A = this chain, B = another copy of it.
Amino acid sequence: MEYNPNWIAVDWGTSNLRAWVMDAQNRPQHALESARGMGTLEPDQFEAALMALIDPYLPIGLVTEVLCCGMVGARQGWAEAAYVAVPAAPPTAKTALRVPTSDPRISVSIIPGMMQKSPADVMRGEETQILGVLHDDPEFDGVICLPGTHTKWAHISAGEVVSFRTFMTGETFALLSTRSVLRHSMAETDWDIRAFEDGLSTGLTDPKRVAANLFSLRATGLVDEASNLNAYSTLSGLLIGLELGGAKPYWLGQQVLIVGSGHQSEIYRHALVKQGADAKILSGDHITRLGLSQARA
């Protein structure tokens, strides 16, 4: 069989499976997506979940390379791709884990995640986005912030990930706003930047008040029905403020690149600029594809 120059880039997280059919110049020809994230699959279901998405795009009589990053490489994933310890350059296809498949038309491998011994931390998927940033700017020296369910902050220097730290802010916000008593106060309202900034300031400058202020978000509406407190925006500010306080060594006086999209990335940028940090946003999807392409270079 002849090797096909076209390949498939895969970002396989806990909740979603996303794939791009790439041409020989690393340009995405098709964007594919399913809800068959790692969290929904047993190890023997991964190949079928992938094939359900990409089968129509596989050429006949050729082997197509499929390069994956993300939680697909976790112990509970398709196959465990051991972590690379920082400080180190982000791993590439050279150290990726080859995964046997029953379908002979694909050759699948998974890029390892990275880990840090102390403070203990791990990432899977973000290392490939960092590689994408370095492809764009090989001399990048500074901090990359990757907002998400678990936001990562990574210090990058001389082409290596020097250190990184994970904050569960997104997951905590989702739990408190949809599952706790605070859900009763999360009316569908417009985003209120002033309320966000108030919460942010409290969380960042007086973090011990965060626990005290949470229940007030509920009680304010009970005590004063005329209150126009925007509990949703305030809660977001309190939690991101607490995160920025803990992540201060990462962003203080640094050039920060935010890799992501939409509202969440915008509010991180707003919060950082408010603290005098230099922050700009790069599209997460674009950077993921760049990273997977760079991993094959």
Contacts and interface: CB of A to CB of B under 8 A. Distances in A.
Interface string A156-177: 0000000001111101100110
Contacts of A212: 119, 165, 167, 243, 246-247
A120 B211 contact: no
B168 A181 contact: yes
Contact of A168 (B150, B211, B239, B247): B211
Contacts of A165: 212
Given A224-B117, A224-B120, A180 B176 contact: no
A282 interface: no
B219 A122 contact: yes
Copies of this chain present in the complex amount to: 2
B168 A214 contact: yes
A119 B223 CA distance: 10
Nearest to A219: B120
Interface stretch (A101-109, A134-142, A202-210, A288-296): A202-210
Contacts of A222: 83, 115, 120, 122
Interface in A142-201: 150, 165-169, 171-172, 175-176, 179-182
A182 B167 CA distance: 12
Contact of A242 (B119, B181, B210): B210
A227 B222 CA distance: 46
A215 interface: yes
A208 B244 CA distance: 8
Interface residues of A, number: 45
Interface string A214-248: 11100110111001000000000001001101111
Q: Which 9 A-B pairs have the closest CB atoms?
A: A208-B245, A212-B246, A207-B207, A166-B215, A120-B220, A120-B219, A175-B175, A207-B208, A120-B223
Given A210-B242, A222-B115, A246-B208, A216 B180 contact: no
A79 B93 CA distance: 65
A55 interface: no
A27 to B, nearest CB: 35
B223 A117 contact: yes
A171 B180 contact: yes
B223 A122 contact: yes
Contacts of A245: 208, 211
A211 B119 contact: no
A172 to B, nearest CB: 7
A210 B246 contact: yes
A204 to B, nearest CB: 8
Contacts of A224: 117, 120
A209 B210 CA distance: 13
B176 A211 contact: no
